[in-house]
Amino acid sequence: MEKLTAEEADTWARMWSCNMQLPCVLDATLKRDADVTYFEFQAMLKISENPNASRRMTDLSEATAMSLSHLSRVITRLEKKGFVARIPDPNDGRATFAALTPAGQRAVQAGHPGYIAELRRILFDNLTGDELEVFSTALTRINAALAGEAVPAPRQRAELPAAGVA
């Protein structure tokens, strides 16, 4: 059975830890500030990015990286809170839009400052500009691999910037 190298195992453990902790920290902040979970806030944030504050469910699923079934449960919770309304697509009877209500718009506005502050505190304030660039490039490659897209060959470790950046 193939095993990870010690460096790979350590990297995976750190990624796993971040992946598990970040949503919990953001949940606490967003529940305090806007009475929504991290996933609910992400859905509302992506809806709010459209000029008319509505988004087709299939597009919203892609924008949030949530499966349609998970997104549907999230939208149902937001409907119960009065933050989102489902609206049938007038041009396609099979499609539905999720639209922010005025209460949902207020919740996004209430949650946004704390959300940004936590992202800065946890992530961006802890990286130099060079580290952020390397991290962003790595995430782009990882997301492409997750999406099944062709990923260009990575640079060799010897080509990476000086220690402490990668």
Return the DSSP state at 126: G
What residues contact residue 47 under an 8 Å CB cut-off, 6+ apart? 53, 54, 55, 60, 84, 98, 99, 100, 104
Q: Is the pTM of this model over 0.75?
A: yes
User: What gap in Å lies between CA 1 and CA 18, rounded to an integer?
Assistant: 27
Express each pLDDT in 78-132 by its tens digit: 999 999 999 998 888 889 999 999 999 999 999 999 999 999 999 999 999 999 9
pLDDT of 91 reads: 86
User: What gap in Å lies between CA 137 and CA 142, rounded to an integer?
Assistant: 9
Q: Which CATH number fits domain 10-145: 3.30.1370.60, 3.40.50.2300, 3.30.1330.200, 1.10.10.10?
A: 1.10.10.10
